[in-house]
Amino acid sequence: MGKYNVCSVVILLCLLLLQGCVSQPYLRVYGDIPAGTTVSSVNDLQHLIETYNITELFLVTTDFTAVSTCTQNLSEISLVHSKNVWYSTSTTLPRTINLKDIAFIAVESDYKRHQIALFDGTDRQQHLSAYERIKRDFTLVGSSARDEQRISKYSRESFTFRYQVRADSVLVIFTSGRERKLSQQEFLESLTFHKTHWTMESDTLTIVWENFPTSSIYDIYPLLNSQSLAKEPMLLIFVDGLGYNMLENARVLGRAGSFRYFEFQPMRTVFPPKTRYAYFAVGNGKHLNEARRLPHAQRRGIFTLFSDLNISSAYIIEGDRVFFTSRFPIVLNTDRNNNGCIDDEIFASAVQHLDKEFELLLVHFHSIDNTAHEHGPYAERTLQQIETVSRYVQELKSKWGRNTIVFSDHGLHSSGFSGRHGTNRIEDMVAIMSSLVMEN
């Protein structure tokens, strides 16, 4: 009896598996959408359209015929699953919408999390979404209209899509924050497109960078570590939010203030280009995402600033909050004179601390980032703030007169009349660094 039971279970499992292989009562959805999305009816699709603000649909058959339509037409399309084949039909739209054996649907939407950015230096960029990438394998054959509703028909190209990478080597940055340098050939061979995102070495890709800035925010921590700070103390000036493009813009307009006396280099920052991540890289030489993945036992002392640095005295001059704790004093400041800015108080506090004994003094100015968020990175108000902070930085540097590193954590890009950062945009990713360090 037991034997029969085993047999019937095995047969049942086989039938279930077979059922799974032959019949797929769902359609895969690709393009600008989370990986693994499927639909099994027009209603499901309508739900996705609302969730991700989908504007265009691209229906592709197993023989690589495709049609595109705007989502307004969806209510007039029916998706039918019959005898293991998906059909699209409509009685009101042009006949080209009638497809047999649909393989997948691609969508264009506001979900751009997995688009890749191609940078060819420090200012030019191109973003490629999964939807655009899918469509580039097809050519437009023609389009037909009926009652002003347009359906475009496509067929598959015989050539394969080429990424326009010209440099001999590229830097790739993954969404995890990991970076890797590759030759052009290695890059083209190991890149895989999954119809919703790109991977390499099973990590999701976000930036492909040709002619990338050689200096990186990850260089700061090893530089501090290599110096004998007991003999030659260091002033580290952290200018939050001053992107390379913002500084160049100010320079061109003659508005860089005292920053014109500095030799700033473009410096690539961490991904995502956010203050916490950059600060962590400066204070630990590590990436925050990797540190967060550490087992608890190994986390001791990691989430603090300068924990491994071979120094015995330091001060951190901050605004009104602590980003990471430290074994060294963090001096907080508030807007005591109520002028809407804390950088004047931070400056005064830094001047006082210059006279104290220390091996490292970190001064974190915040107002350029705040102003650029509020008014935009290239706004008049932001230019004024760059000039103001430049005077603080210049004054600190000349009062100190010894080893100084000035750096920023990221830049900002325009978004309407304000500014943002944290994405794979070149304006966010290129920060600045100027270092005046004597050998010792």
Minimum CB distance to Zn ion smaller for 37 or for 424: 424
Minimum gap (Å) between residue 262 Cβ and Zn ion:
19
Minimum gap (Å) between residue 382 Cβ and Zn ion:
12
Nearest CA to 395 among 344, 347, 325? Answer: 347
Instruction: Work out the angle at residue 363's Cα, subtended by the Cα atoms of residues 362 and 369, and round it to the nearest 5 degrees.
Output: 130
Q: Is residue 120 a contact residue for Zn ion (CB under 5 A)? A: no
Q: Is residue 369 a contact residue for Zn ion (CB under 5 A)? A: yes
Task: Pick the piece of the chain touching Zn ion (CB under 5 A) from 288-296, 335-343, 364-372, 396-404.
Answer: 364-372
Site for Zn ion in 387-416 (CB under 5 A): 409
Binding mask 189-228 vs Zn ion (x if CB under 5 A, - otherwise)? Answer: ----------------------------------------
Minimum CB distance to Zn ion smaller for 31 or for 377: 377
Query: Count of CB atoms within 10 A of residue 109's CB?
Result: 20
Give the SS3 label for residue 86: strand
**Which residues are registered as beta bridge partners of 65?**
155
Minimum CB distance to Zn ion smaller for 369 or for 427: 369
Minimum CB distance to Zn ion smaller for 108 or for 369: 369
How far, in Å, CA of 366 to CA of 433, rounded? 16
3-state helix, strand, coil in the chain (%, to 5): 30, 30, 40
Q: Which of 240, 318, 343, 427 binds Zn ion (CB under 5 A)?
A: 240
Instruction: Work out the angle at residue 260's Cα, subtended by the Cα atoms of residues 387 and 244, and round it to the nearest 5 degrees.
Output: 80
Minimum gap (Å) between residue 276 Cβ and Zn ion:
8
Q: What are phi and psi of 57, to 5 degrees?
A: -120, 145
First to last CA, the chain: 85
Query: How many residues form the binding site for Zn ion (CB under 5 A)?
Result: 5
Instruction: Work out the angle at residue 291's Cα, subtended by the Cα atoms of residues 234 and 191, and round it to the nearest 5 degrees.
Output: 110
Site for Zn ion in 268-287 (CB under 5 A): 275
Give the SS3 label for residue 80: strand
Q: Is the dihedral of CA 333, 337, 342, 347 positive or negative?
A: negative
Minimum CB distance to Zn ion smaller for 32 or for 240: 240
Q: Is residue 108 a contact residue for Zn ion (CB under 5 A)? A: no
For residue 136, what are its two tokens? 């580039």
Minimum CB distance to Zn ion smaller for 179 or for 369: 369
Minimum gap (Å) between residue 177 Cβ and Zn ion:
16
* Residue 272 Cα distances to 64, 196, 202, 312, angstroms: 37, 20, 19, 31
Minimum CB distance to Zn ion smaller for 58 or for 238: 238
Task: Pick the piece of the chain touching Zn ion (CB under 5 A) from 4-12, 238-246, 296-304, 352-360.
Answer: 238-246
Residue whose C-beta lies closest to Zn ion: 275
Instruction: Work out the angle at residue 109's Cα, subtended by the Cα atoms of residues 104 and 113, and round it to the nearest 5 degrees.
Output: 100
Minimum CB distance to Zn ion smaller for 241 or for 319: 241
Minimum gap (Å) between residue 409 Cβ and Zn ion:
4
Q: Which residues bind Zn ion (CB under 5 A)?
A: 240-241, 275, 369, 409
